A and B are shown apart, each in its own frame.
Chain A
Amino acid sequence: AQSVAQPEDQVNVAEGNPLTVKCTYSVSGNPYLFWYVQYPNRGLQFLLKYITGDNLVKGSYGFEAEFNKSQTSFHLKKPSALVSDSALYFCAVRDLNSGGYQKVTFGTGTKLQVIP
């Protein structure tokens, strides 16, 4: 079974400060990892993904995420937060060993509030 944990329901950060949204995962094989963002009254949007290669993945809107295999983590980061980054962020994982079955498991989401 695969699972994702987002330990923080909400993260508050001042505009201009660096932000981190935490995610840890559990899979039996090698993970595919994703971050999605949901702005108010909008659908989910893809931010970035990790498949293989460099542990630091860069994505949309200046976001990046660092894959840490030993800690089974995939934290989302941004060097300088914007008020417009305020949204709901979802981490997701897919087990490479799931073969042709592509089900992705999502975390419960973390609300990011950037304070002006």
Chain B
Amino acid sequence: GAGVSQSPSNKVTEKGKDVELRCDPISGHTALYWYRQSLGQGLEFLIYFQGNSAPDKSGLPSDRFSAERTGGSVSTLTIQRTQQEDSAVYLCASTQGAYGYTFGSGTRLTVV
């Protein structure tokens, strides 16, 4: 596609439920990132995929968070047993080279 697509755009879930957030990067982009933007906070790095290399999971805040990238393309971020502090906008970005990212519009997650 022309840009990075994320779905859903909005998700409201009950505390304790699992959620899956999807990112469809730009075709051919080998690098994919997940960031989290909480109210009043900057962008918090979560996880990074680069080609076939093992992902950098150093930013995942707890073991309730996981992500996978299938076939080097679509990525899914899964949050298990959601908590209210998980409420944020989750942004996905992809890039081909070393410089500038293309971001999706994000998924706004609200845990009630």
User: What range describes how many residues of A lie at the interface?
Assistant: 20 to 34
User: Which residues in window 60-112 of B have CB below 8 A to A?
Assistant: 91, 93, 95, 98-106
Can you give 26 contacting A-B residue pairs, CB < 8 Å? A32-B98, A32-B99, A34-B99, A36-B103, A41-B105, A42-B105, A43-B4, A43-B91, A43-B103, A44-B103, A45-B103, A46-B100, A46-B101, A49-B99, A51-B99, A94-B98, A100-B50, A101-B48, A101-B50, A102-B95, A102-B98, A103-B48, A105-B45, A108-B41, A108-B42, A109-B43
User: What range describes how many residues of B lie at the interface?
Assistant: 20 to 34
Residues of A within 8 A of B (CB): 6, 32, 34, 36, 41-46, 49, 51, 90, 94, 100-109
What is the total of A-B residue contacts with beta carbons within 8 Å? 53
